[in-house]
Structure 1
């Protein structure tokens, strides 16, 4: 469904670009409210509503134009490369897409060439910088966030890599204390176990003896005997003669 939203015929594509041109807030960096999310979002919504495509929202407007803009920049690159190759005027590359002239009529002045200096000091004109069309892009907020991170980094206290003598002593004392606490707990557990062993009576020994006998029998036989023993003990008319 989403991929079909972006598929437009030539007529709808030209209509879309013309609507985008009528909303300079989306592509003209010189406007005062260019960085306003509210203004840019409202403009994109107007375009989406006018296009009248089911499921086509302001988000799709920005994505669609971004794709078209990328294709437009590729066409500009082909034109520059054909000119640099030394061909005649008649052989300079001419874009075949019918929407190129419509977009070029308003977008060309806002596409800046970015010259990257090579090691030999020569300019490389293959790189271009196009205007951003993201609804949630805010360059000022990015700058503020970067400054906040720098201030936080400066406030952090750098801890020494090697511990000092006092720190080593504290660690040793803590280790000794931990060992002493562990020994006390083990001693307490041993005393409890010994105390429990001293409290065993004849019933405990008899139970252990019966348990050893049951373990030597087959599982089905031992299970049956367990039930019989319990039933015999709980029998209400058990009386000692």
Structure 2
């Protein structure tokens, strides 16, 4: 199968999904060392990725993508730490990854690049804590890393200079993504049923709010009681 390249938007979409499977990246979880549970989570991740339109991969291909993303992220994080926060990453997806990966990578992020473990956590044996590994990867991984680094400026020209996205990124945005992820993991019929129920609840509350509003000469105002 030909290597499937992701652009910045697709990487961000993947990171939204990947974050939900914390057993695959959060080394502080007790179950992180449970290889069987991680393998199950990886299979579910493959399914969700396919359902999300990000492509179809086998386990090994997905491991390589995770490894490459984590490697490039770690390299950027090291640059920030070594520059005493003067370095500003140009990667479009860095901030998204940083939102959840930094907390589990900071402990060893001050080590030299060639001594930092960048291996896919799925390869870590259950009885062994992550150890330092050589950052050298196979040719396919090198190509993957180059693709990820080339996403530094892609999509930027098409994004208007506005703060709308930042201003709307709040607890509700996060909650919506979590709900979406959980719906994708359900059978389609059940997911559609729940979607309808959620929409009904929202519509009911909106109607309730609107019932307290009058329209007078085209001007809306809330009743004073």
TM-score, normalised by the number of residues in structure 1: 0.45
TM-score, normalised by the number of residues in structure 2: 0.48
| Larger Rg belongs to | 1
